[in-house]
């Protein structure tokens, strides 16, 4: 029996007590109310450090006390600035990554139940709820976020966990690649109009936020043919590169302007498709996930690709991904398969939030998976962990016809 059934006949929650939907991300967090078509706010996952006054990432800390303090301040800021409701009166749905850290999950639950005294909290897996937005139960969900790209096949509403794949490929890897390319191939136009190479002071201005802005505004994903010629030229400058795209000017500081060459614009995203020391890249882990699925479901996986995450919205990425998959599959035993991509009804970075929103809008869909505050406090006394979707202990469906 699939974990998710049709929600067309289920009753919506009382509007006065509408469920709050959180989709925590390492770079950005989406938050809003169930029953809406999009999140109320998309905020950076950072809080102000009380010691230095600088913004620090919420979820990047190995100290449990620091992590708990940051999450508490972050959720409090969201309720005060974005939601404007009493936390105690609303149920919570937290969209989580099945491959995420259990420490972060337990800390979020502790903050919600002990500090904010929530009525109930339901942790739902992002890869499963992403399919809710499309009305399908089978698909290969590729989540390309800030820190990593993760691939989990879902068949009949159940994740095939032994086929999961993940690599540290995402916006963070592209930002590092872009910074190295800018230092090597770009120049700065000063007040006198002369172009000079980047200095240390210029490199310090290339913060994570500015690199992200350059990626969004100026960069794109090239075609496999141009990419191959670019790599040949990079290895051997005697090989003629393809005609570059136009250069662009990006304001850096004051009268200084960063001149971004066309080659940099199209090479920044190549890190997603370059193989590492283990001969892995984004297309290869997708093929590996398909090959680890049972033979009789592989055709459905290749015909139901779902790419989500903020990085997935980069210009040309989905088209390049399909081209690479078709090219690499012909070299193996997957030639008969046809690769097709679903088009989500919302922007790629909001797909998982909308899936959690659809689940949180239904009483029958939310109640069986919710943990009340009383249940959480009782579980803490017995040192029981939070329910985990990857464990069959919490996912085994009870058959009423079975003998007691």
| 123, β-bridge pairs | 94
Determine the pLDDT at residue 202.
81
Q: What is the mean pLDDT of residues 115-127?
A: 91
User: Any idea what DSSP says for residue 143?
Assistant: E
Determine the pLDDT at residue 11.
39
Q: Quick one: pLDDT band at residue 297, thresholds 50, 70, 90?
A: very high
Q: Quick one: pLDDT band at residue 231, thresholds 50, 70, 90?
A: confident
Q: Quick one: pLDDT band at residue 142, thresholds 50, 70, 90?
A: very high
**Which is more confidently placed, 224 or 391?**
224
The tokens of 99 are what?
Answer: 């491959």
- Structure confidence by residue, pLDDT tens digits, 309-329: 999 999 999 999 999 998 888
Q: Quick one: pLDDT band at residue 5, thresholds 50, 70, 90?
A: very low
Q: Pseudo-torsion of CA 52, 58, 59, 60, nearest 10°?
A: -20
What's the pTM value of the predicted model, to 2 decimals?
0.87
Q: What is the mean pLDDT of residues 58-77?
A: 92
Convert 175-201 to b/e letters by CB count within 10 Å (16 or more is b).
Answer: bebbbebbeebbbbbeeeeeeeebeee
15-129+348-395 fold: Nucleotidyltransferase; domain 5 (3.30.420)
- Structure confidence by residue, pLDDT tens digits, 268-283: 999 999 988 888 999 9
How far is it, in rounded angstroms, from Cα 170 to Cα 149? 6
Q: Quick one: pLDDT band at residue 365, thresholds 50, 70, 90?
A: low
Instruction: Name the residue among 99, 145, 172 with its Cα closest to residue 353.
Output: 145
Structurally, at CATH architecture level, domain 171-272 sits in Alpha-Beta Complex (3.90)
How far is it, in rounded angstroms, from Cα 27 to Cα 362? 29
Structurally, at CATH architecture level, domain 139-169+281-329 sits in 2-Layer Sandwich (3.30)
Phi/psi for 268 (5° steps) reads -60, -35
The tokens of 25 are what?
Answer: 């991300």
Portions of the chain given CATH number 3.30.420.40: 15-129+348-395, 139-169+281-329
Strand-strand pairing, 92-96 and 20-23: parallel
Indicate if the pLDDT at residue 227 is higher than 90: no
Determine the pLDDT at residue 332.
62
Average the pLDDT over each of 57-61, 81-85, 120-124, 326-330 and give the range with the smallest value.
326-330
Portions of the chain given CATH number 3.90.640: 171-272
Mean pLDDT, all residues of the chain: 85
How far is it, in rounded angstroms, from Cα 249 to Cα 164? 41
How far is it, in rounded angstroms, from Cα 85 to Cα 87? 6
């Amino acid at each position: 029996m699939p974990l998710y059934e049709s929600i067309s006949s289920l009753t919506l929650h009382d509007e006065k007590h509408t469920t709050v939907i959180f989709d925590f991300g390492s770079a950005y967090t989406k938050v809003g109310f169930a029953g809406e078509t999009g999140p109320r706010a998309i905020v950076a996952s950072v809080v102000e450090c009380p010691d230095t006054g600088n913004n620090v990432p919420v979820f990047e800390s190995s100290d449990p006390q620091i992590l708990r303090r940051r999450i508490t301040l972050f959720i409090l800021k969201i309720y005060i600035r974005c939601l404007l409701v009493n936390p105690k009166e609303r149920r919570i749905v937290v969209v989580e990554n099945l491959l995420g850290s259990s420490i972060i999950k337990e800390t979020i639950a502790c903050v919600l139940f002990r500090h904010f005294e929530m009525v109930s909290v339901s942790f739902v897996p992002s890869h499963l709820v992403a399919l809710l937005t499309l009305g399908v139960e089978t698909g290969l969900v590729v989540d390309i976020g800030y820190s990593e790209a993760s691939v989990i096949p879902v068949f009949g509403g159940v994740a095939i966990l032994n086929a999961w794949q993940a690599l540290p490929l995402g916006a963070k890897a592209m930002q590092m690649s872009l910074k190295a390319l800018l230092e090597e191939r770009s120049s700065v136009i000063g007040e006198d109009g002369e172009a000079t190479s980047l200095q240390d002071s210029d490199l310090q201005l290339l913060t994570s936020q500015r690199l992200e802005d350059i990626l969004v505004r100026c960069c794109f994903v090239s075609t496999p043919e141009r990419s191959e010629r670019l790599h040949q030229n990079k290895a051997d400058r005697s090989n003629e590169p393809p005609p570059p795209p136009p250069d662009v000017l990006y304001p850096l500081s004051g009268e200084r302007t960063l001149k971004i060459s066309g080659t940099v614009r199209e090479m920044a995203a190549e890190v997603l498709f370059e193989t590492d020391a283990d001969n892995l890249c984004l297309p290869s882990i997708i093929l590996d996930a398909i090959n680890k699925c049972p033979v009789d479901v592989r055709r459905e996986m290749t015909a139901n690709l779902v790419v989500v995450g903020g990085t997935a919205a980069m210009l040309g990425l989905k088209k390049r991904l399909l081209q690479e998959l078709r090219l690499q599959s012909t070299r193996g035993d997957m030639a008969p398969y046809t690769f097709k991509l679903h088009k989500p009804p919302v922007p790629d970075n909001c797909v998982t939030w909308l899936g959690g929103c659809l689940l949180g809008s239904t009483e029958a869909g939310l109640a069986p998976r919710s943990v009340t505050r009383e249940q959480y406090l009782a579980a803490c006394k017995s040192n029981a962990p939070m329910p985990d979707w990857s464990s069959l202990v919490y996912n085994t469906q009870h058959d009423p016809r079975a003998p007691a």
